[in-house]
Amino acid sequence: MAALTDDRVRAVFGELDAQAVYREVKQTGDFLGFTRRFMHSDDERVARNAFWALTKATDKELSQLQVILNDLMDLALTTPSSSVRRLSLNIIERLKMDEDDLRTDFLDFCLEHMSDADELPGIQSISMKLAYRMCKFYPELLAEFKATLESMEPDFFKPAVNCVRNRILNGKL
């Protein structure tokens, strides 16, 4: 099978196309190589479509990306594309995160984006989940995080964000 090209990944226009690219990556078994190849593409559409295809992967398949967790965090912090940001955060959320993986810049980013009423709800929700996961390592941070959630005015946020907020506050996440 020929390697996936920028043109092939750029040509993803719908769910079936994203599934097809995922199946091609699955056949090779090289999720890490695929991600490294396309995550920093100068073509936003290529990067976005590559991450979209990766969201179809199982957590076991995505575990190959554990070695580039910091690179994925850096991408989420710096990309100008909200689509690439949302999709890369989705991948990060599916990876294992230990106390040693805690980065204050990434935690600050998640805290800022989860409470920004102008941010896209998908980015707010996933940022909230990630901030919660990081804060759980430190009781004092977790208490402060929950106080922040309690002070968030639900009327300013979309239902998806309020759902994640409520699940965290009710101990169901």
Kindly state the average pLDDT of the residues 133-144. Answer: 95
List the one residue out of 154, 76, 169 whose CA is nearest residue 115: 154
| Residue 105 belongs to some domain of the structure | yes
Please report which confidence band the pLDDT of residue 2 belongs to, taking 50, 70 and 90 as the band edges: low
| Residue 45 belongs to some domain of the structure | no
Say how many domains are in the chain: 1
Q: Which residues contact 123 (CB under 8 A, 6 or more apart)?
A: 82, 85, 86, 89, 113
| Residue 165 belongs to some domain of the structure | yes
- Asked if 43 contacts 13 with a C-beta cutoff of 8 angstroms, the reply is no
| Residue 149 belongs to some domain of the structure | yes
For residue 124, the enclosing domain spans 97-173
| Residue 167 belongs to some domain of the structure | yes
- Give tens-digit pLDDT for 139-162: 999 999 999 999 988 888 899 999
- Asked if 44 contacts 83 with a C-beta cutoff of 8 angstroms, the reply is yes
So what's the pLDDT on residue 153?
A: 86
| Residue 32 belongs to some domain of the structure | no
So what's the pLDDT on residue 156?
A: 85
